[in-house]
């Protein structure tokens, strides 16, 4: 059965673009290539893409900046290509939301395996309500200013959130009324750095509940679904001043 996923390869080196495109096409993928950020954005504006392979080092707008742009627009899966020696690029790329990374030079077969794994993982996630960048969202008695990472109660008093708590709350707000497993929450908040045996999500949920629940011992906003995970029970809407 042929794979119909559409892969966008963004790299300023034509030989790499051609090599990856030829290999993925042979394995049933639809492939489009772009030499820079401008070309990438043009492709994304004109067609649906399932995954982006994005080189870090490019002239003009680099891959890290483009990854940040993609994350501001939504949850399109991204695999970063980085130089073997640039550990900082890999770390920053993951922090900006890349789903995986691969160091150059690489074997096409390994890239194919990474693509299959990322697509398989992201396909299991519920659809995101909408891109959250630069919005203020209302849920229950709370407002979350996404761009300022600020949580406000009904009296306008700010409640401090750690980075982990902000990521977790943003994930719940992007998927209201969906049951999210611990593995999905780890993937959405930590990406490739997630450890499937990590139980820190339970601790993060407990800390977040202490800040948003009226009675954290009997949570009504972020409920536990036994055997499933957690779900946000509140409706989420864009706040218009």
CATH number, position 42? 3.40.50.2300
Question: Residue 17 pLDDT more than 90?
Answer: yes
Two tokens, residue 239: 């706040």
Q: What is the pLDDT of residues 31-67, one digit of tens each?
A: 999 999 999 999 998 888 999 999 988 888 888 889 8
Which structural domain range is residue 67 located in? 6-123
Domain boundary among 62, 88, 123: 123
What is the CB-side half-sphere exposure of residue 94 using CA atoms within 13 A?
15
Output phi, psi for 100, to 5 deg. -165, 170
Q: How confident is the model at residue 93 (pLDDT cuts 50, 70, 90)?
A: low
Residue 130 belongs to some domain of the structure: no
Higher pLDDT, 133 or 103: 103
**133: number of Cβ within 10 Å:** 13
Query: What's 231's DSSP letter?
Result: E
Let me know whether 27 and 116 are in one domain. Answer: yes
CATH number, position 224? 1.10.10.10
Do residues 6 and 15 lie in contact, with contact meaning Cβ atoms separated by under 8 Å?
A: no
Domain boundary among 64, 90, 123: 123
Residue 1 belongs to some domain of the structure: no
Q: Which residues, in sequence order, are bridge partners of residue 229?
A: 225
Let me know whether 105 and 177 are in one domain. Answer: no
Q: How confident is the model at residue 94 (pLDDT cuts 50, 70, 90)?
A: low
Do residues 63 and 93 lie in contact, with contact meaning Cβ atoms separated by under 8 Å?
A: yes
For the full predicted model, state whether its pTM sits above 0.85. no
Q: What is the pLDDT of residues 172-207, one digit of tens each?
A: 998 899 888 887 788 777 654 544 445 678 889 999
Let me know whether 116 and 162 are in one domain. Answer: no
Q: How confident is the model at residue 2 (pLDDT cuts 50, 70, 90)?
A: very low
Let me know whether 143 and 115 are in one domain. Answer: no
Domain count, the chain: 2
Do residues 54 and 28 lie in contact, with contact meaning Cβ atoms separated by under 8 Å?
A: no
The span from the CA of 36 to the CA of 20, in Å, is 16
Let me know whether 41 and 119 are in one domain. Answer: yes
The span from the CA of 6 to the CA of 50, in Å, is 5
* pLDDT reported for residue 113: 92
Domain boundary among 123, 155, 190: 123
């Amino acid at each position: 059965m042929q794979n119909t996923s559409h892969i966008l390869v963004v790299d300023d080196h034509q030989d790499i673009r051609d090599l990856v495109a030829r290999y993925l096409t042979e394995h049933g993928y639809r492939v489009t290539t772009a030499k820079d950020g401008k070309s990438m954005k043009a492709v994304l504006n004109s067609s649906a893409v399932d995954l982006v392979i994005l080189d870090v080092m490019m002239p003009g707008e680099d891959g890290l900046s483009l990854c940040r742009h993609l994350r501001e627009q939504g949850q399109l899966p991204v695999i970063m290509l980085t130089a073997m020696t640039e550990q900082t690029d890999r770390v920053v790329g993951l922090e900006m939301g890349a789903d995986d990374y691969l160091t150059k030079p690489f074997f096409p077969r390994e890239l194919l395996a990474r693509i299959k794994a990322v697509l398989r993982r992201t396909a299991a996630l519920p659809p995101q309500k909408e891109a959250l960048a630069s919005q203020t969202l209302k849920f229950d008695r709370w407002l979350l200013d996404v761009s300022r990472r600020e949580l406000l109660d009904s009296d306008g008093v700010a409640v401090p959130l750690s980075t982990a708590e902000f990521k977790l709350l943003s994930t719940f707000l992007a998927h209201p009324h969906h049951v999210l497993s611990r593995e999905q929450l780890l993937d959405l908040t930590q990406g490739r750095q997630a450890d499937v045996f990590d139980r820190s999500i339970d601790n993060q949920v407990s800390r977040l509940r202490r800040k948003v629940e009226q009675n954290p011992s009997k949570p009504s906003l972020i409920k536990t679904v036994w055997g499933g995970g957690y779900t946000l029970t509140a409706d989420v809407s864009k706040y218009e001043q």
